Each structure stands twice: as C-alpha cells, then as structure tokens.
Amino acid sequence: MSVARSTSAAPTTGPLPLVIGAVGHRHLEPGDLPLYRARIAGFLRGLRSRYPSTPLRMLSALAEGADRIAAEVALEEGCELLVPLPMPAEDYERDFPGSVAQFRALLQRVPTDCVFVVPEPVLPPGTDAHTRRDAQYLEVGIFIATQSHVLLALWDGVRNKAVAGTAEVVRFKLEGQIHSDDRALDADDCGPVFHIHSPRAGSGGNADVPAEWLYPRDSSADILRTVCSRIDRFNRDAVRVPVPAAAVADGSGLLPGLAERPPADRRLAATFASADTLARGYQRLTHLVLRSVIFLALALALTFEVYAEILPHRIMPRIYLVIFSTITALYLWQRRLDAQGRYLDYRALAEALRVQFYWRLAGIKESASASYLRKQLDELRWIRDALRGANALPPPTDARPDLVQRFWVGGQTHYYRARATSLMARMHRIERLSAVCLATGLTATAALVVFWRPLEWLDHDRHWLVLVMGFAPIAAALAEAYGERFGMRTQAQQYSRFAAIFGRAETAIARLEASPEIAGRGDSERALIAELGREALMENGDWVLLLRDRPIVLPKG
C-alpha cells in the first residue's frame, strides 16, 4: 500500500455514492478485452445518465483480469475507486508475479486512504496456509458484495464449488449465503448483478453474448430504479442546498476537530452534515405548511360562521372560496414537492449516519444498515441502501470510545432530555388552548340555553354567541390535530425513555473508562456502544413510521 498516492479526483456531485462491486475471472481471452471494456463503459455511462447527481464508486480488489479491466475503465470514466485487498500488497503480489507492475501502476492512481486490507476472518487454530488464503479471498469477495449496490460480474455463468471464485461471490450477492456455513442474510443484504458474459481463456466460449441483469428473488428492476432515483434525488438536493461552513468543520456537531480524523471519517461526517442540513430545511418547510393549513382552516371555519350568522353578504362566499383555494393549492404544492416525505427520509438517513459515524469512531466495523428499518415500508428501502453506500469505506481506525462517550452518549442524553421537556411543554400549551376553546364554546352554548328569552331581544347581537358556539369547538379540534399530526405526546414519551437509556449508557461507559485495569474493557465498551446504536436505530425507525402515518391532509368536516 505504500506505493499508492493521492491522484484521483473527488466526486463533484452529491455525497451519496452508487457503489459498484467488480468481480470476475482472472484469465480472459486477450481478443475479447476491447468488448469487455466497451460494455463496462456503457454500463457506467448508462448509470451516470440516469442518475446524473450521483457519484459512482467502484470496489475492485485489482486481481488480474476482470478486476483490473473494471478498475481501469472506472478511472477513465471519472469514477472513484476503492481497493479492498485480501491481504497485504506484498503478499498479494505473489499470486500474479507476471503483472506486478500493472498492479502497482493502478495503485498509484488511487488515493492512499482508499487502499486497505480487509480484516482477515477468524479461522480455527491450525488452519493450513492454502485454506487461510482461500478464506481471505472469500472475505474480500463478501466485502465487495455486501458493500455494493450492484455487483458487476465478468463471469462465464458457470456455477462451481470453488470456495472463493467469482461464482461464489455472485451467488452470495443473489442469495445472501456464505459458502462455508449455512448462515443466511436478510434479503435486503442481497442485490442485483450486472452480468457480462466472459468465457475463461482457452475455454473456446463466445464472448459476444448480450449482458444481462440478475436479480434476487425479492428484488426487481423497479426496486433498483426506485432506490437509485431516491439516492439521486437526495444528491440533487444536496448540490442545490450546500452545507454551511460551520457545519462542515465539525460535521454538524458530530465531533470538534474533525479535520484531524482519517479521510473516511470526514467523508461520512460530511454526508451526515448534508442529510442533517436538508432534513432541517424540509422540517421547517413542513411545519410552516402545516401551520399555514391549520391557520387557513380556522379562517375558513370563521368565514363560514360569520356568513351564516352575522354577514350574509356576497363577499363572504368569495372570501371563503379564496381561502379554500389557497389551502388546496398549498396542499397540492407540498404534496408534489413531497416536503414531509423528504423531511422524514432525510432525518432518518441523518440519524442512521450519526450512529454509523460514532460506531466507526469506537472502532466498530458493523454496518448500521444491517440494523435499520427492519419494519420498513417499501419506499424506505432506499435509506438502508444509501446508508450501505455511504459506509462503503475503509474499515475504521484509531478507535476513540472516550470521544463517543463524550460527544454522542453524553450529548444525546442532554438532547433527549431537553426535547422531551420541550415537547411536553408544547403539548400542554396546545391542550390548554384546546380546553379554553372548548370551555368558551360550552359557555356560549349554555348562555344561549339559559338566557334564550332575554337574548331574543338582542336579535342581531345574539348571533355572535351562535358564532362562538359553532367556531370554538372547531378551533379546539384543529389545535388538537396540530399536536396529533406530529405525534408530540408519543415523541415526548420516546425521548424520555431514550434519555434514560443514554443516561445509563453514559454511566456504564464512564465506569469502564475509569477502570482501565478491567480485562476486556475495550470489547465491553464497543459492545455497549453497538447495542446503544441498535436501540437508537430501532427508536428512530419507529419514529419515522409513526410520522409517515400522519401525513399533511386537507381539513375535513
């Protein structure tokens, strides 16, 4: 890895990449190579034309043959290249002594921080060297398959029993099973394969066969298009709404001194900052639309009551029509913009990226996408895939659980407590306002019943009581609808519960940090942080699903 140097350009589009994993045969017919290059280039250009705001990131182990062809074409097409190696470069080069120069030349075109060794799998004691090497190759194949959205396979299509061959990686991508055991992954960890038919050298096969898409049983071209389109929409928004400089410096509050962290950590923090900035913007817009709809609905009800009881003039229906048209136009505009959907999606993505960032900071290699939104709706699938792509980075280094304890666990404890208190206070204000409206309506109704005969003499002025009697319950209902639409009470209860969970975690981690002599202290801290992250992901997923069931709607009744 020491021969690599930083020369490739950073993506100029949005922060969320579409990740392509490259695998294939090592020995291909030289005469077929131009055809393969053209098909790979066409594949990459097709993705870029359909999703122009999304950068393409390719994973390739740079083995001889297909891996290097795909990597070379990716660099020529302006894609970012990430190189996961099955073993240290010096050891890896022994498998292709005749093409070491080509391997090193490719490494020189890749930033140093984008070349790394995939951690070796845990094997039983006494495992022979050949089996260990196969396991290392399988591990890098699994890494490429799991971290990519699409697997690009230059493969002859022949299934075989090779432990670490292309056929096994393709099978893993489509079926989600590891060759060495019967452990099955969830279907969401599978994905599509773009298959370029590539016969092995000397086999006599015909390479001039159309490329094809292969999909897992629970996937399809429509699902892939939906996922990629949502990722591209996020990137388009991120390009349109740049992150403030202050937010870039610390990753929107993730960690002061972020510039001192490894590039992969900074990149993940920058993606979080974009998601957080967009979520905040669409949150403000969503709340503004909802408040406007509630206010206009109140004006609509008041206009009707005034027309019915006080001023039966022609101007009042016109005012009513203008207000009703404004509400409808506002509703249709926000529905077309999907402001609330964007707010919830981007907030969900930001919170998952927050967990992923602190997991990396703690030295945890697990991907947050494996624990997020398991109760998802189909339209939320893109968030997990986007999270997987954002985390297609070198494994974490320089573990700092002390920083995690200080800036995540402690920070979130304070945040949840403050939010719970704030939401409960807002809910109480809304409930008091609703109670005042109901009491006012009840008082007006009682006055009409008790003082009916005396009020008959007032004639026109009596209608003001009728107006209050009809309008006050409507105002109370709309006030309650505002609080219910955002699930304030449920959120406050969730925040209170989570403040307690983070508080206990803060105490436990502080106790571990204060006792360095405890055996396995680091493992205990990482296990605690991992469990806390899974709890946070589960809670956030429930919150997203809760609010998705409360969309902004036109007032009825």
- Among 245, 242, 263, 265, smallest CA distance to 255 is for 265
For the cut 50, the answer to whether the pLDDT of residue 544 exceeds it is: yes
Residues 197, 275: one domain?
Answer: no
- How do residues 339-396 score in pLDDT, each as one tens digit? 989 999 999 999 999 999 999 999 888 888 877 766 555 667 899 899 999 999 998 8
- How do residues 77-106 score in pLDDT, each as one tens digit? 999 999 999 999 999 999 999 999 999 999
Residues 433, 529: one domain?
Answer: yes
Q: What's the pLDDT at 374?
A: 60
Residues 539, 393: one domain?
Answer: yes
Q: Which residues have CB under 8 Å from 63's CB, separation 6+?
A: 26, 95, 96
Domain count, the chain: 2
Tokens 């086999």 found at: 203
Residue 509 in tokens: 């981690």
Helices (H), 149-220: 166-175
- How do residues 508-534 score in pLDDT, each as one tens digit? 877 877 776 666 677 888 888 999 998
- Give the residue-averaged pLDDT of 47-75: 96
Residue 350 in tokens: 């930001």
Q: Within a domain: residue 313?
A: yes
Residues 230, 272: one domain?
Answer: no
Side chain identity at residue 1, one-letter code: M
Q: Within a domain: residue 11?
A: no
* Euclidean distance between CA atoms 371 and 395, whole angstroms: 18
For the cut 90, the answer to whether the pLDDT of residue 313 exceeds it is: no
The DSSP secondary-structure symbol of 183 reads -
The whole model's pTM is what? 0.85
Q: What's the pLDDT at 3?
A: 35
Residues 364, 503: one domain?
Answer: yes
Q: Within a domain: residue 309?
A: yes
Q: What's the pLDDT at 179?
A: 40
Spatial contact of 414 and 435, defined as CB atoms under 8 Å apart: no
Spatial contact of 39 and 199, defined as CB atoms under 8 Å apart: no
Show the CA angle centred on residue 296, arms to residues 291 and 297, nearest 5°: 95
Residues 263, 186: one domain?
Answer: no
Residue 261 in tokens: 């962290």
Residues 276, 382: one domain?
Answer: yes
- Among 268, 266, 276, 285, smallest CA distance to 238 is for 276
Q: What's the pLDDT at 94?
A: 94
Q: Within a domain: residue 531?
A: yes
Q: Within a domain: residue 411?
A: yes
Q: With bands split at pLDDT 50, 70 and 90, how would you rate the model's confidence at 557?
A: low
For the cut 70, the answer to whether the pLDDT of residue 42 exceeds it is: yes
Residues 64, 141: one domain?
Answer: yes
Residues 217, 365: one domain?
Answer: no
Q: Within a domain: residue 246?
A: no
CB atoms within 10 A of CB 9: 9
Side chain identity at residue 216, one-letter code: P
For the cut 80, the answer to whether the pLDDT of residue 178 exceeds it is: no
* Euclidean distance between CA atoms 130 and 135, whole angstroms: 9
Last residue of a domain, one of 185, 206, 236: 236
Exposure string of 461-479, with b = 16+ CB inside 10 Å and e = fewer, is: ebbebbbbbbbbbbbbbbb
Lowest average pLDDT, out of 193-202, 208-217, 493-502, goes to 493-502
Residues 406, 492: one domain?
Answer: yes
DSSP codes, 452-500? HHHHHTTGGGHHHHHHHHHHHHHHHHHHHHHHHHTTHHHHHHHHHHHHH
Residues 311, 219: one domain?
Answer: no
Q: What's the pLDDT at 125?
A: 86
Residues 124, 77: one domain?
Answer: yes
Q: Is the dihedral of CA 413, 419, 422, 428 positive or negative?
A: negative
Q: What's the pLDDT at 537?
A: 86
Q: What is the extent of the structural domain holding 365?
A: 258-548
- How do residues 432-488 score in pLDDT, each as one tens digit? 888 888 888 788 777 767 776 666 665 566 667 777 777 778 778 777 777 776 667
Q: Within a domain: residue 71?
A: yes
CATH number of the domain that residue 29 is part of: 3.40.50.450
For the cut 50, the answer to whether the pLDDT of residue 39 exceeds it is: yes
Classify residue 221 as exposed, middle or buried by CB count within 10 Å of its CB (0-12, 13-18, 19+).
exposed
- Among 97, 103, 8, smallest CA distance to 57 is for 8
Most confident of 157-161, 374-378, 387-391, 419-423: 387-391
- Give the residue-averaged pLDDT of 286-312: 83
Q: What's the pLDDT at 314?
A: 81
Q: Within a domain: residue 65?
A: yes
